[in-house]
Amino acid sequence: MSTEMVAVMLGVSLVLGLLGLLAFIWGLKNGQFDDANKMMQGVLFDSVEDLNLAAKATNKSQNTHTSAYKQKEKNKMENIYDIAIIGGGPGGISATIESVIQNIKNVILLEKSDNHSATIQKFYKDGKRVDKDYKGQKIDLEGNIPFVDGTKESTISFFDELLQHHNIPVEYQSDIESINKKDNIFVITNTQNKTYQARYVVIAIGKMGQPNKPSYPIPSSIRKIVSFNVNDCQNNEKILIVGGGNSAVEYACMLAQNADVTLNYRRKEFTRINETNAEQLTQAIEQNKLKTRLGVDIVELFDDNGKVGVRFSDENKETFDRAIYAIGGASPVDFLKKCHLEIDEKGVPLCNDLHESSMKNCFVAGDIGLKSGGSIALAIKHGYEIANEIKKRES
Ligand SMILES: Cc1cc2nc3c(=O)[nH]c(=O)nc-3n(C[C@H](O)[C@H](O)[C@H](O)COP(=O)(O)OP(=O)(O)OC[C@H]3O[C@@H](n4cnc5c(N)ncnc54)[C@H](O)[C@@H]3O)c2cc1C
């Protein structure tokens, strides 16, 4: 063998030996030999096919996590909340806090009043004793909201502190009017025509909501024909609709198909309505299907031979078979109907055991979901259960 040949072989052996040594040191450093059993089984039993499958599975799981992460980031950029919670009473507060604790942080709590827990603030007498097991209804609370007996004031402070402690984003004075679902995303609209998008919705509006009423009196003899929804309207009636938001315009356009309808709004222009309603309104007016009285207020209602007599601020008077006020607020049943939720004969939304309504991913918490017998603790319990269910669906 020539000397050159020996030198080449020696060189190759040295390089290979060095590579082997480096691989051994790398293996030691990275704990490749820590689990002897795993190492041996891997060597003994993993076929090329197994290794390919393992590699594919790893890739798939990485891709799933990456795409879920990317989707979440995209949602954030498009301002799509994970959960929108409607109603800042015990049920809504609990659903929000429990979701945040479960690490679902892109949430928003929407409350129509200028403070949370409007039912407790408005309807409880000052100093009222508040029982956790209200009217003997014993509730075992499992979540993270340690609600106990107290007073009206201590209960309000308790929720105040919880909202602050968990840094809960609440949007006050957001009176939600409708919920629609488009491509699995909920579009939630308030009376100011502001919209929010979310992948889940929790409705926790309680049962105490009422439609707003006019400031002047409604004579008792015509109360039956002055209403706050369109449930009792008949074909061919002469109807006055009062209001300038989406509800008033929708009622007017819908009823104008079969009745003699006048829409009255105290302003001259409809600045709060959405594009679809604006188009339909213009069309109905242009086609003379709908009359308007704009830029005038109503100053008085009177009984005109059993019909609704109306005196306007421009001194004009007119008589109608029926007047409908759509000037904000809604009864819970009207709200649910507007959101296209299925309800039973008593107006209670149909829900499964998970508090999910007839619309997938739209949940119902607290009093609004009950035939009777609600309590603060029960609403808190619902919120916890709903947050858990949403977390499950998200993992
Ligand atoms: C006088 C009185 C005394 C009571 N005493 C007790 C007691 O001692 N102990 C007890 O456990 N229970 C008591 N209850 C019952 C208890 O108050 C309710 O069961 C509980 O408040 C229900 O909580 P909730 O979250 O379902 O609804 P609510 O507390 O009614 O909260 C609903 C929230 O949603 C908001 N909201 C409504 N509509 C909209 C909308 N469209 N958009 C945005 N926000 C909206 C409201 O402003 C409100 O803040 C009492 C009730 C009353 C009326």
Q: Report if residue 342 sits inside a domain.
A: yes
Whole-angstrom distance, CA of residue 175 vs CA of residue 164: 22
DSSP string, 344-357: -TTSPBP--TT-B-
- Tell me the per-residue pLDDT of 375-395, one tens digit each, with 9 for 90 and over: 999 999 999 999 999 999 999
What is the arithmetic mean of pLDDT over 294-323? 98
Distance 372 CA to ligand 1 centre (A): 13
Last residue in a domain, options 325, 348, 371? 325
- Residue whose CA lies nearest to ligand 1 atom number 50: 375
Establish if 291 belongs to a structural domain. Answer: yes
Q: 329: Cβ below 6 Å to ligand 1?
A: no
269, 290, 325 - which closes a domain: 325
Q: Which domain holds residue 241?
A: 223-325
Ligand 1 atom closest to the Cα of residue 332 is 38
- The answer to whether residue 129 scores a pLDDT higher than 80 is yes
- pLDDT of residue 36 exceeding 70: no
| CB-ligand 1 contact for 134 (6 Å cutoff) | yes
Nearest CA to ligand 1 atom 16: 375
Ligand 1: distance of its center to the CA of 101 in Å?
23
**What is the per-residue pLDDT across 196-223, written as a single tens digit (0 to 9) for each?**
999 999 999 999 999 999 999 999 999 9
Claim to verify: residue 230 and residue 313 sit in the same structural domain: yes
- Cα–ligand 1 centroid distance for 124 (angstroms): 10
DSSP assignment of 19-53 equals: HHHHHHHHHHHTTTTS-HHHHHHHHHH--HHHHHH
**Pairing mode, if any, of strands 150-151 and 129-130?**
antiparallel
Res 57 pLDDT > 90: no
What pLDDT is attached to residue 64?
58
Q: If you ran DSSP here, which 8-state letter would residue 287 be given?
A: T
Residue with tokens 């659903």: 95
- For the segment 141-186, what is each residue's pLDDT rounded down to a tens digit? 999 999 999 999 999 999 999 999 999 999 999 999 999 999 999 9
CATH number for the domain spanning 287: value is: 3.50.50.60
Residue 101 shares a structural domain with residue 195 = yes
Q: How far apart are CA 16 and CA 20, in angstroms?
A: 6
**Per-residue confidence (pLDDT) for residue 341, from 0 to 100:** 96
Q: Does one domain contain both 176 and 235? A: no
Cβ–ligand 1 distance for 155 under 6 Å, the answer: no
69 inside domain: no
Same-domain check for residues 287 and 313: yes
The verdict on the CB of residue 86 being under 6 Å from ligand 1 is: yes
Cα 246 to averaged position of ligand 1 atoms, centre (Å): 26
Nearest C-alpha to atom 47 of ligand 1 is from which residue?
118
| C-beta 124 within 6 A of ligand 1 | yes
pLDDT at residue 61 in the model: 54
Does 287 lie in the same domain as 248? yes
Q: Count of domains in the chain?
A: 2
Mutation test residue for ligand 1: of 86, 115, 119, the one with most atoms within 8 Å of CB: 119
Q: Which of these three, 325, 348, 367, is where a domain ends?
A: 325
Q: What is the 3-state secondary structure (H, E, C) of the chain?
A: CCHHHHHHHHHHHHHHHHHHHHHHHHHHHCCCCCCHHHHHHHHHHCCHHHHHHHHHHHHHHHHHHHHHHHHHHHHHHCCEEEEEEECCCHHHHHHHHHHHHCCCCCEEEECCCCCCCHHHHHHCCCCCEECCCHHHCCCCCCCCCCCCCEEHHHHHHHHHHHHHHCCCCEECCCCEEEEEEECCEEEEEECCCCEEEEEEEEECCCCCCCCCCCCCCCCHHHHHHEECCCCCCCCCCEEEEECCCHHHHHHHHHHCCCCEEEEEECCCCCCCCCHHHHHHHHHHHHCCCEEEEECCCEEEEEEECCEEEEEECCCCEEEECEEEECCCCCCHHHHHHHCCCCECCCCCECCCCCCECCCCCEEECHHHHCCCCCCHHHHHHHHHHHHHHHHHHHC
pLDDT of 23 higher than 80: no
Helix (H) or strand (E) holding 15: helix 3-29
How far away, in angstroms, is 104 Cα from ligand 1 center?
25
Ligand 1 neighbour 175 (Cβ under 6 A): yes
Averaged pLDDT for residues 257-261 = 97
Whether residue 293 is found in the same domain as residue 361:
no
Q: What is the mean pLDDT of residues 110-121?
A: 97
Measured in Å, residue 165 CA sits from the centre of ligand 1 at 22
Cα(291)–Cα(284) distance, integer angstroms: 9
Ligand 1 centroid–CA 70 distance in Å is 38
CB of 272 within 6 A of ligand 1: the answer is no
